[in-house]
Amino acid sequence: MKMATNTNNLVKEIRKAPEATIVSLGGDVDLHHSPALHAALVEVAGERPRRLVLDMSGVPYIDSSGVGTFVEVFRRVTAYKGKMVFFGLNDRVRSVFEITKLDKFFVICQSEEQATQA
């Protein structure tokens, strides 16, 4: 099931399936956009999906505020024993996850198919 999107919070599409809720993001995840993105992802996490899958293929750039947003949502999801999984990271975004060591905590997959089964 596809859900409506909000262009202000970088959420381009939300698809809900039994195994996962897949949120497609688009745009730079920076200090300007992170608060609205955080609010949107907290709302999705509040529905306690078994897997919260984040499609990052439309995200060209992320800074530490964006990383902090994902960390905060990750803590919410793991608190109810759900999983948060990423796919579609470009080299720039991946490098920020690596430099902050979050690639060791986050599950990062190559494809949507892998992510929805991770």
Closer residue to other proteins in complex, CB, 89/112:
89
Two tokens, residue 106: 């986050």
**If you write DSSP's letter for every residue of 64-81 in order, what string do you get?**
HHHHHHHHHHHHHHHHTT
CB 55, CB 89: distance < 8 Å? no
Q: How far is the CB of 21 from other proteins (least distance, A)?
A: 21
Q: How far is the CB of 2 from other proteins (least distance, A)?
A: 28
Residues binding other proteins (CB under 8 A): 28, 30-32, 61, 63-65, 67-69, 71-72, 74-75, 91-92, 95-96, 98-102, 105
